[in-house]
């Protein structure tokens, strides 16, 4: 099941920013996480709610290709192997 959270953060210049994080769980393990930081709380909600609905409707989005040169690339979190 997917869910989202919004966290209020203070930027280095003192302005408020809102980070919305969506997570997909399989049991206790987080299998997908993506976040986006926006200037208004309403924008963060507007980004997060459709992303959660889309992931529940269509499944997990494809992670970006390894050639993506972004420091904020989305990486799926795989459950740890149990012995």
Residue 80 within a domain: no
Burial 46-69 (b: 16+ CB within 10 A, else e): ebbeebbeebeeeeeeeeeeeeee
pTM to 2 decimal places: 0.65
What confidence score (pLDDT) does residue 42 get? Answer: 93
Residue-number span of the structural domain to which 8 is assigned: 2-58
Q: Does residue 76 carry a pLDDT above 70? A: no
Task: Note whether residue 14 is domain-resident.
Answer: yes
Number of structural domains in the chain: 1
In a domain, 27, yes or no: yes
Q: How far apart are the first and last CA of the chain?
A: 26
For the stretch 7-58, pLDDT in tens is: 999 989 999 999 999 988 888 888 888 899 999 999 999 999 988 888 888 8
Whether 30 is in a domain gets the answer yes
User: Could you tell me if residue 26 is inside a domain?
Assistant: yes
**Does a structural domain hold residue 71?**
no
Do β-strands 29-38 and 16-26 pair in parallel, antiparallel, or remain unpaired? antiparallel
Whether residue 7 is contained in a domain is answered as yes
Whether 8 is in a domain gets the answer yes
Residue 63: predicted pLDDT: 57
Q: Which two tokens stand for residue 35?
A: 């976040």
């Amino acid at each position: 099941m997917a869910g989202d959270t919004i966290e209020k953060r203070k930027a280095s210049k003192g302005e408020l920013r809102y980070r919305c994080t969506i997570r997909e769980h399989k049991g206790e393990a987080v299998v997908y996480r993506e976040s986006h930081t926006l200037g208004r709380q309403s924008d963060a909600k507007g980004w997060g709610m459709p992303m959660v609905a889309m992931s529940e409707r269509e499944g997990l989005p494809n992670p970006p290709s390894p050639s993506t040169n972004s420091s904020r690339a989305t990486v799926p979190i795989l459950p740890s192997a149990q012995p």
